[in-house]
Amino acid sequence: MHIAILGATGYSGNVLYNLLSQHPNVETINLYGHEGGKSSRFLDDEVPAFFSAHLSILPFKPKEIMENNDLLFCATPAGVTKDLMEPFISADFPVIDLSGDFRLSNPAIYEKWYHKEAAPANLLEKATYGLAEFPEKKPSKYLANPGCYATATLLGLAPLVINHMIQPDSIIVDAKSGVSGSGKKLSPSSQYNFINENAWLYKINKHQHIPEIMQKLNDWDSHIPAIQFSTTLIPVTRGIMATIYLKPLKEYTNEQLFKCFHQFYDDAPFVRFRENELPTIKDVTGSNFCDIGINYNPITNTIAIVSVIDNLMKGAAGQAIQNFNLLCNFEATSGLPLLPIFP
């Protein structure tokens, strides 16, 4: 296949290009910029690590992109694709969008949480939320790749929520992320002298991934009113750990809880359920895995779920490749590493 990438110079775009360049079903990759102007930029100039990939970053011209490619990946910041994707959606051209612009079906909710004007409602309704382990029954050709915090949280919660085993108003999520999760653009919080040997709790109950989490949870159980959600920046390059606390509807045995997770994930190639063994971020670094462990305290009647992912892989580019494989009926694991980077 001939693949286009819009936004290959950011962190998610870098990883996406890396994965696609090794995908057995990808013949060529064409890169495009959304800033306009002439083709005077090259990938290796902006990403020195890709020294051997001297590829032009071409101007964004929808007609030419659709004529020369079979599918478009968008790895842009929020607020970009909402203004660019109408020609592709109208033509029913396949797009996998890693930004947040098409994840929320309600424009008013997008504007409240992203503080930007939303895409038109008639375009939003053409998009499908692409949580790869839980694909929609009738997916569209425009897949909105989930956010990193949302992926870790939803995969941790899904078995118990879908089986209606929890008290709907009891969900508390304490999520922590590495610095690459905030993207390539410099900020005071991403500077070494700020985050080294530090931890910074930010956007408590205000993070833009909360509404997509709630949107999906309510698809599974409409009785969930809200979640308590905190996000903390920690001094690692990549990785997310979501520690989720909730109250079960009744007292369960460990075996009952294990059985629930095994039923959902034993056949999922990229979710590894580890029962009472609680995973670490290092267990998934550089991979597309989501590792999940649980602990049940019958004294406090509280279930703790630990869900870890690599934010640039399962939380972005890796899941995008998973969705690509689903959309094109390729082998689920094509183009994706089957082991994490360790040590």
- Per residue in 110-162, pLDDT (tens digit) is 999 999 999 999 999 999 999 999 999 888 999 999 999 999 999 999 999 99
Confidence of residue 182 (pLDDT cuts 50, 70, 90): confident
| Residue 35 reports pLDDT greater than 90 | no
Residue whose C-alpha is closest to residue 8's, from 52, 51, 42: 42
Nearest alpha carbon to residue 55 among 8, 15, 20: 8
More confident residue, 171 or 188: 171
Sheet of 142-144: strands edge to edge? 41-42, 56-59, 28-33, 2-6, 71-74, 95-97, 142-144, 127-129
- Report the pLDDT value the prediction gives residue 36, as an integer from 0 to 100: 61
pLDDT tier, 38 (very low <50, low <70, confident <90, very high otherwise): low
Q: Over the stretch 302-315, which tens digit does the pLDDT of each residue have?
A: 999 999 999 999 99
Q: Which CATH number fits domain 2-146+314-328: 3.40.50.720, 1.20.1250.20, 3.40.50.1000, 3.90.550.10?
A: 3.40.50.720
Q: Whole-angstrom Cα distance, residue 111 to residue 208?
A: 10
User: CA end-to-end span of the chain, whole Å?
Assistant: 34
Tell me the mean pLDDT in the region 215-223.
98
Percent of residues, the chain, with pLDDT higher than 70: 99
Residue 183: predicted pLDDT: 83
The reported pLDDT for the residue numbered 186 is 78
**Cα(192)–Cα(201) distance, rounded to whole angstroms?**
16
Domain residue ranges of the chain, discontinuous segments joined by +? 2-146+314-328, 149-311
- Asked if 340 contacts 39 with a C-beta cutoff of 8 angstroms, the reply is no
pTM across the whole model: 0.96
Q: Where are the alpha helices (DSSP H) in the chain?
A: 11-20, 43-46, 62-68, 86-90, 107-114, 121-124, 148-162, 192-195, 210-220, 254-265, 318-328
- Provide the pairing of β-strand 56-59 with 200-202: unpaired
CATH of domain 149-311: 3.30.360.10
Residue 39 banded pLDDT, cuts 50, 70, 90: low
| 212 class by beta-carbon count within 10 Å (0-12 exposed, 13-18 middle, 19+ buried) | buried
**C-alpha span between 322 and 94 (Å, rounded):** 14
Q: What residues are labeled active site? A: 148
Residues 213 and 175: their CA atoms lie apart, in Å, by: 13
